[in-house]
Amino acid sequence: MFPTINIGPFVFPTAGIVYLLGVYLALTLIERAAKRLELNVEATYGVAVVGLLVGIVAARLAFVVEYWASFSQNLISIIWPLTSGYNVAAGLFFGAAAAFFYGRFKQLPFWSTLDALTPGLLTAFIAISLADFLAGPGYGTLTRMPWGISVFGIRRQPVQLFEIILGLAALGVWWQVVKRGAPAGRPFLLSIALYSAGRLFLDVYRDNTWLTADGYHIMQILALAVFVGCLVMLMRMETAVALKNETDQQEG
Amino acid sequence: MLKSRFEWTIWIVVAALLGAAWIFVSKEEVKEPSILTLTEAPIVGHLAPDFTLQTPIGETVTLSEFRGQPVVLNFWASWCGPCRVEMPFFERTQMKYNGQATVIGVNQGETADIVQDFGVRQNISYPLLVDDDNTVNLDYNVHSLPTTIFIDPDGVVQEVIVGIVNQAVLEDRIEGMMRAE
């Protein structure tokens, strides 16, 4: 694996570079998707940026609050260094809430905005898997299959590569659905349903995944919840469209 | 329309049941992490490479002797400004978790005299180890200082932080490793 990249006398952490590139690519894709879906590009881009910035600040502040006894002795450490010390759950919650309310404030259509954000979201997932693969924190189960990769002398499932392929497939689905002019919400729901179903399947091949006290894979439970949630929303959407068509035909 | 909704419902229930069955089938026995299958590497999720070094006064310290409690391995040098900034945090952490967790400082490429002087001047009570030929620094791929490695009670690397860490991060990671145990 390649935890660091050497450029001349400087050494950079690979994961950090991949995350930065991932954010840049995700924001670029969101901008292009908004253009293609004929949304207010600036406002849609703003939703992503607001969500990201508020998420980072909230994650840091939540960590500071949690460890106030330590930070109170050295206030400068609240803002420096920033390379570690975040509460991810708080960041996700407040980032999502800020993005939602910013979208409402800008009067963006809910489902179309989610459609535009989807390629960015999937790109972020791909970047996380790639950083995991290159820097090595996540690794697969033991295997003798020919596609296994050697991780410090032991042959393992290239589980992060599977996740990257899954993310690209979900991006492909999003692109195809958008190209066919599907109703708002369908690109988001179909691609996220595919991605979550894939993660539900693939998590078995992670050797250091999070488990509940009973040994169930936490990622699988989350993925199943998202997958079923997407299907339920798709059902509501599709049946509403069918009902509308029926009503239109009767009136016609 | 109703038929369509009914069909949707059937499909969703089938998908949910299949998903739940897959989760059930994938359930793992609650066991110790598969440490026997791990190799030594300075990478998260792998066994921390074992080493034996000496303090400036000649005491021998072996990493694997600290199995059973979290270890914070800090790579530093006397010329490294950021290392000096974070050292009081390590000292406070060592005092706070004395006996429950261990902080070890591994110097990069300096002589025992320099390490000794520095430790006395900075009032450091945790072990500062001499690695004058950089063997351990190379084993741990330490390119930038400071670098801090968190090792859980099983000897598995949990996190590698390049750059300064603060007191709160140290406490968070140590308590996390203690809880996981």
Query: Does residue A29 lie within any of the structural domains?
Result: yes
Query: Does residue A162 lie within any of the structural domains?
Result: yes
Give the closest-approach CA distance of A228 to chain B in angstroms. Answer: 6
Which residues face B107 on adjacent strands? B76
Are B26 and A217 in contact by the 8 Å Cβ rule? The answer is: yes
Host H or E run for residue A149: strand A149-151
Which residues face A150 on adjacent strands? A155
- Residue B14's pLDDT is 95
Pairing outcome for strands A149-151 and A154-156: antiparallel
How many domains, chain A? 1
ipTM at complex level: 0.83
pLDDT > 80? residue B81? yes
pLDDT > 80? residue A8? no
Say which residues have a Cβ less than 8 Å from residue A32's Cβ, sequence separation at least 6: A119
- Residue B4's pLDDT is 77
Residue B105 CA to chain centroid, in angstroms? 13
Measured between CA atoms, the residue of chain B closest to residue A225 is B16
Query: Does residue A33 lie within any of the structural domains?
Result: yes
Cα three-residue angle A67-B101-A131, rounded to 5 degrees: 65
Question: E strands of chain B, at which residues?
Answer: 52-54, 60-62, 71-76, 102-107, 128-129, 147-151, 157-162
Query: Does residue A23 lie within any of the structural domains?
Result: yes
**pLDDT tens, B59-74?**
999 999 999 999 999 9
Quote the mean pLDDT of chain A: 90
- Residue B35's pLDDT is 53
Q: Which entry of B53, B71, B83, B165 is annotated as an active-site residue?
A: B83
Structural domain boundaries, residue A31 = 4-39+109-180
pLDDT > 70? residue B30? no
Q: What is the mean pLDDT of residues B72-83?
A: 92
- Residue B112's pLDDT is 94
Query: Does residue A251 lie within any of the structural domains?
Result: no
Q: What is the rounded distance in angstroms from the CA atom of residue B57 to the CA atom of residue B47? A: 28
Are B149 and B140 in contact by the 8 Å Cβ rule? The answer is: yes
Please report which residue ranges of chain A form alpha helices under DSSP H. 14-36, 41-66, 68-71, 88-105, 110-135, 159-179, 186-202, 218-251
B133's tokens: 């030929």
> A217 and chain B: CB distance < 8 Å anywhere?
yes
**pLDDT tens, B86-119?**
999 999 999 999 889 999 999 999 999 999 999 9
> A6 and chain B: CB distance < 8 Å anywhere?
yes
Distances from the Cα of A1 to the Cα of A134, A249, B14, angstroms: 5, 61, 40
- For A3, the closest of B28, B141, B166 (CB atoms) is B141
With bands split at pLDDT 50, 70 and 90, how would you rate the model's confidence at A158? very high
- For A67, the closest of B27, B163, B172 (CB atoms) is B172
Q: What is the mean pLDDT of residues A51-76?
A: 89
Contact B172 A242 (CB under 8 A): no
B80 in active site: no
- Residue B36's pLDDT is 54
Query: Does residue A46 lie within any of the structural domains?
Result: no
**pLDDT tens, A28-48?**
999 999 999 999 999 999 999
Measured between CA atoms, the residue of chain B closest to residue A64 is B168
Which residues face B102 on adjacent strands? B71
Contact A231 B172 (CB under 8 A): no
With b meaning 16 or more CB within 10 Å and e meaning fewer, what string describes B106-143? bbbebebebbeebbeeeebebbbbbbeeeebbebbebb
A221's tokens: 């439970």
Nearest to B154 by CA among B55, B74, B53, B35: B35
- For B26, the closest of A11, A136, A217 (CB atoms) is A217
Give the closest-approach CA distance of A104 to chain B in angstroms. Answer: 30
